[in-house]
Amino acid sequence: MTSTPVPGLLKSQRFRRAREDDWRRLERLMDKAEKGSISRLTDAEILAIPTLYRSTLSALSVARETSLDQDLIRYLETLAARAYFFVYGSRSTLQDRLAGFFSTDWPAAVRRLWPETLVSAGLMLLGALVAGWLVTIEPEWFYAFVPGDMAGGRDPAASTESLRATLDGTQDAEGLSVFATFLFTHNAQVALLAFALGFALCVPTGLLILYNGATLGAFVALFASRGLGVEVGGWLLIHGVTELFAVVLAGAAGLRIGWAVAFPGRKRRLDAAMEAGRTAGIVMGGVVVMLLLAGLLEGFGRQLITDTALRYVVAGASAVIWGLYFFAPRRRAS
Amino acid sequence: MSGDADMGARTERAFVTPEGVDLRLNIGDAGQRAAAFLLDASIIGAVLIGFTLLVVLTGFGASGAGRELLAVIWLSVFFLLRNFYFTAFELSAAAATPGKRIMGLRVASRDGGRLKAEAVFSRNAMRELEVFLPLSVLGARASQGGVDSWLYLLGFVWAGVFVFFPLLNRDRLRLGDLVGGTWVVRAPRHKLTRDMADEGVQRIAIYDFTARQLDAYGAKELHVLESVLRQGDRKTLASVAERIARKIGWRRGDDTDRDFLAAYYAALRGRLEQKLLMGVRRRDKHDV
């Protein structure tokens, strides 16, 4: 007696012959899509891919259950995986993604972070108050909070006149753009660090934010002690509103991750970290943009707008704009 | 990349698509990940050095405003390369940096869903902690001398935990993968080769094995036979043919080893697949 049903082919061979052309077609399309850009595919080809992908996937399921052709199964697994990554890959255009990011994703993510934002802002304020108080009673403290290269001669040893001169911004109109770029890259690096440090259970991020606030507080206290409090306020806040807010948000994003890792609650620790990471990641994307704006304001705006009242106007306007943008109630996105 | 035929179960992970099919992906192991990173790091380094040379050379000719512009461009390029090289490449269709692509790796979302931009962003922002912080700890040591070696040691251990984190978990997740909800999987290519049953299936009728003879082996032995046929090494074919013939009590005529094995392969596969249809999977010869 023969053990295979009738002539010719095994069932698995017939199965393979009937579908092989589709698989080969999908493979060619994948080669094309992976090699160059998606724009090289025609509309018909793009429409065909999901259909071919699903039929390949179901062929894979069937083959696993009925075929013992190992090579075929491995081929289908890799082909289905390639097509899967294409079908479920990120394929929205950059334009759509940017529009979606700025109109809904980013503000929504920032709103979700509000408790951490408050904590982060509180820490910065605390650092500023403590450092300001210390410098007011004992100016020597200034050197503990402000690194020498950052102070650039603006320290307790400087005369009131020279301090005033650093505020009006006329002295270094040369090299503004380099200065702005440097500030942006430096601040963005600090913000990214604050975010990444959050993973180490919040503490390093908290310290970094405190220290940032302390530097600020020491600076303001020094100028205030010479009767330049109002002027230094304008000098700092014209870009500081944007920049400090960005640093606060970066800290908040870091805290969110650290908190989720330390206290995942009912979720699995990995899932909690992942969820926090997604929200925080969106916020951080925006923080880089904010810092770019702050760098521009600092490098150009501050040096070109020298009137203190006008500086306060710009500072107030930016505060209102950011506040409305993030926290104003808006129509629910459909 | 057809060389990785021997993907062990050690790196295989269940990966269920939204359609409910398990793709059984293989994760990239620590060596591949490290190699990919080193490749990327050297690409970044090479580009930076080349770019710096270019800027310095053009800087000699320029003056004033031109020089300022060059400085701005240099700072921006440095910043972009340092922070967005990985993000930009991983957002592309291949979801892999050049280094990963060379090593045959790609980034995927761990939950089987779409790989989102924020996941890629988070995953790479964490490099600050994993790469640049340890580097700056090393740098601090170099610049300040042996002032406080204990503190240095503590800092180094602390930073080291993050660097070697992938070695401490089964899925080789970096911190960034953890936070982004991603992992790095192998993206092998596999060509569809000839069905080894095509040769022998026509000769099944000539050989006419009995059911008893076909019940001697299971799926595992079938797969071994498949690869023996595929490689087609004469000596192996001869010894395998002899072993099988002895086991099933088959008296060999004047056919070639290959003909015999191809026919037996086709017949055995037909038999096992027939059972498979009835819901019986025979794993190997000991499985009854």
Please say if the pLDDT value at position A307 is more than 60.
yes
Describe chain A by its helix, strand, coil percentages, rounded to 5. 80, 0, 20
In this structure, the answer to whether residues B36 and B173 fall within a common structural domain is: yes
Q: What band does B1 get if pLDDT is binned at 50, 70 and 90? A: very low
**Residues of chain B contacting residue A193, judged by C-beta atoms under 8 Å apart:** 128-129, 132-133
Q: Which range has the top average pLDDT, A7-11, A116-120, B150-154, B278-282?
A: A116-120
Please say if the pLDDT value at position A2 is more than 50.
no
Q: Name the residue facing A38 among B78, B93, B132 (closest C-beta).
A: B93
Stretch 233-272 of chain B: residues touching chain A, C-beta under 8 Å? 266-267, 269-272
Please say if the pLDDT value at position B42 is more than 90.
yes
Residue A276, chain B, CB below 8 Å: the answer is yes
Kind and range of the H or E run holding A124: helix A114-137
Distance CA A249, CA A106 (A): 12
Percent of chain B with pLDDT over 90: 8
In this structure, the answer to whether residues B67 and B182 fall within a common structural domain is: yes
Amino acid at A334: S
pLDDT at B56: 85
Distance of CA A307 to the CA centre of its chain: 34
Residue A102, chain B, CB below 8 Å: the answer is no
In this structure, the answer to whether residues B96 and B201 fall within a common structural domain is: no
Residue A23, chain B, CB below 8 Å: the answer is yes
DSSP code, position A39:
G
**Is B93–A86 a contact, with Cβ atoms under 8 angstroms apart?**
yes
Tell me which residue of A230, A242, A325 sits closest to A287, measured CA to CA: A242
Residue B48 domain flag: yes
Amino acid at B140: A
Domain boundaries, chain A: 11-91, 95-327
Stretch 162-221 of chain B: residues touching chain A, C-beta under 8 Å? 162, 175, 178-181, 187-193, 195-198, 201-202, 204-205, 208-211, 214, 219
In this structure, the answer to whether residues B75 and B148 fall within a common structural domain is: yes
Distance CA A214, CA A219 (A): 8
What's the gap in Å between the CA of B47 and the closest CA on chain A? 19
**Is A70–B223 a contact, with Cβ atoms under 8 angstroms apart?**
yes
Q: What band does B9 get if pLDDT is binned at 50, 70 and 90? A: low
**Residues of chain A contacting residue B117, judged by C-beta atoms under 8 Å apart:** 90, 97, 101, 285
**Is B187–A65 a contact, with Cβ atoms under 8 angstroms apart?**
no
Amino acid at A12: S
Which residues does residue B182 pair with via DSSP β-bridges, in sequence order?
A: B109
Report the pLDDT averaged over residues B22-48. 90
Residue B3 domain flag: no
Residue B222 domain flag: yes
Summarised one tens digit per residue, pLDDT across range B68-125 is 778 778 888 888 888 788 888 888 777 889 999 889 898 988 887 778 887 888 888 8
Tell me which residue of A253, A257, A249, A248 sits closest to A201, measured CA to CA: A257
Q: What band does A138 get if pLDDT is binned at 50, 70 and 90? A: confident
Asked if residue B53 lies in contact with residue A160, where contact means CB atoms within 8 angstroms, the answer is no
pLDDT at B3: 39
Residue B167 domain flag: yes
Report the pLDDT averaged over residues A70-79. 88
pLDDT at A200: 78
Q: Name the residue facing B188 among A4, A78, A175 (closest C-beta).
A: A78
Pairing mode, if any, of strands B25-26 and B105-109? unpaired
Please say if the pLDDT value at position B261 is more than 90.
no
Percent of chain A with pLDDT over 70: 87
Nearest CA in chain A to B209: A2
What's the gap in Å between the CA of A275 and the closest CA on chain B? 8
Amino acid at A286: G
Q: Which CA distances in Å does A198 have to A140, A249, A277?
A: 32, 12, 10
Q: What is the mean pLDDT of chain B?
A: 80
| B78: CB partners within 8 A, 6+ apart | A185, B48
**Residues of chain B contacting residue A54, judged by C-beta atoms under 8 Å apart:** 19
Within 10 Å of residue B236's Cβ, how many Cβ atoms? Answer: 15
| Of the residues B165, B186, B207, the one at which a domain ends | B186
Residue A334, chain B, CB below 8 Å: the answer is no
ipTM given for this complex: 0.77
Summarised one tens digit per residue, pLDDT across range A159-196 is 777 777 777 655 554 556 666 677 677 777 778 788 88
Distance CA A271, CA B111 (A): 10
| Of the residues B161, B186, B211, the one at which a domain ends | B186
Domain that holds residue B67: 8-186
Distance of CA B231 to the CA centre of its chain: 24
SS (H, E, C) chain B: CCCHHHCCCCCEECCECCCCCECCEEECCHHHHHHHHHHHHHHHHHHHHHHHHHHHHHHHHCCCHHHHHHHHHHHHHHHHHHHHHHHHHHCCCCCCCHHHHHCCEEEEECCCCCCCHHHHHHHHHCHHHHHHHHHHHHHHHHHHCCCCHHHHHHHHHHHHHHHCHHHHCCCCCCHHHHHHCEEEEECCCCCCCCCCHHHHHHHHHHHCCCHHHHCCCCHHHHHHHHHHHHHCCHHHHHHHHHHHHHHHCCCCCCCCHHHHHHHHHHHHHHHHHHHHHCCCCCCCCCCC
Q: Give, in degrees to the nearest 5, the angle at Cα A67 between A62 and A71.
A: 110
Please say if the pLDDT value at position A5 is more than 60.
no
**Is A5–B274 a contact, with Cβ atoms under 8 angstroms apart?**
yes
Residue B10, chain A, CB below 8 Å: the answer is no
Q: What band does A125 get if pLDDT is binned at 50, 70 and 90? A: very high
Tell me which residue of B18, B14, B33, B182 sits closest to B95, measured CA to CA: B182
- Identify the residue whose tokens are 């602390």: B158
Q: Which range has the top average pLDDT, A119-128, B19-28, B92-101?
A: A119-128
Report the pLDDT averaged over residues A303-313. 83
| B102: CB partners within 8 A, 6+ apart | B36, B39
Summarised one tens digit per residue, pLDDT across range B28-38 is 888 899 999 99
Amino acid at A328: A
pLDDT at A177: 67
pLDDT at A117: 92
Distance CA B98, CA B86 (A): 9
Which of A207-216, A261-270, B67-76, B179-188 comes out lowest in average pLDDT?
B67-76
Residue A13, chain B, CB below 8 Å: the answer is yes
In this structure, the answer to whether residues B228 and B175 fall within a common structural domain is: no
In this structure, the answer to whether residues B232 and B102 fall within a common structural domain is: no
Tell me which residue of A318, A301, A191 sits closest to A246, measured CA to CA: A191
Which residues does residue B184 pair with via DSSP β-bridges, in sequence order?
A: B107
Asked if residue B214 lies in contact with residue B240, where contact means CB atoms within 8 angstroms, the answer is no
Asked if residue A69 lies in contact with residue A12, where contact means CB atoms within 8 angstroms, the answer is yes
Distance CA B176, CA B160 (A): 15
Residue B95 domain flag: yes
In this structure, the answer to whether residues B153 and B260 fall within a common structural domain is: no
**Is B72–A177 a contact, with Cβ atoms under 8 angstroms apart?**
yes
Q: How many distinct structural domains can be found in chain B?
A: 2
In this structure, the answer to whether residues B52 and B125 fall within a common structural domain is: yes
Q: Specify the pTM.
A: 0.74
Report the pLDDT averaged over residues A38-59. 86
Asked if residue A319 lies in contact with residue A241, where contact means CB atoms within 8 angstroms, the answer is yes
pLDDT at A90: 62
Between helix B219-231 and helix B234-248 the angle, nearest 10°, is: 150
| Of the residues B186, B218, B242, the one at which a domain ends | B186
Residue B139, chain A, CB below 8 Å: the answer is no
Stretch 27-46 of chain A: residues touching chain B, C-beta under 8 Å? 27, 33-34, 37-38
In this structure, the answer to whether residues B135 and B71 fall within a common structural domain is: yes
Please say if the pLDDT value at position A334 is more than 50.
no
Report the pLDDT averaged over residues B158-183. 84
Q: What band does B21 get if pLDDT is binned at 50, 70 and 90? A: confident
Residue B244 domain flag: yes
Q: Name the residue facing B21 among A33, A61, A85 (closest C-beta).
A: A61
